Amino acid sequence: MKSVEILSSVELYERGQICEALQVEKFQAGDIIIEQNKPGDKFYIIEEGQAYASKVFNEGEEPTKVLDYSKGDYFGELALIRNEPRAASVVAVTNCRLLALDRMSFRRLLGPMETILKRNSDNYVKYIKK
């Protein structure tokens, strides 16, 4: 968990609480982990594997790859922070083992970090609003 950038500064006790709340989810290469415009109810951390985010900017167009994810990367926080549908789809490139945190646990455990997460989410703006 220390290798996850956003959690590296979290105290040991808090990190332990987060670890207890995380659920392991496995996806096969090619699986859609989250789908653009669908409701978001989980935050994910990649424990093993690789994935990418893609976005359909205009209805009827093919999705455009916008980000790559690998071990230690996280995604899914935008829908939870903003209470909006998923801004992009995330697809497994390889078999993936993800750590998932549901909406309620995310708010309870990462709520104090919401300011940091919001600031980091500003990095996505260039991908969301092409």
Q: Is residue 115 part of a domain?
A: yes
Structural domain span for residue 118: 5-124
β-sheet bridge partners, residue 32: 91
Find the CATH number of the domain harbouring 94.
Answer: 2.60.120.10
Q: Give tens-digit pLDDT for 67-102.
A: 999 998 989 988 887 888 999 999 999 999 999 999
Whether 90 is covered by a domain: the verdict is yes
Count of the separate structural domains present in the chain: 1
First-to-last alpha carbon distance for the chain, in angstroms, is 32
Whole-prediction pTM: 0.82
Per-residue pLDDT tens over the stretch 29-45? 999 999 999 998 999 99
With respect to residue 80, please indicate whether it lies within any of the assigned structural domains: yes
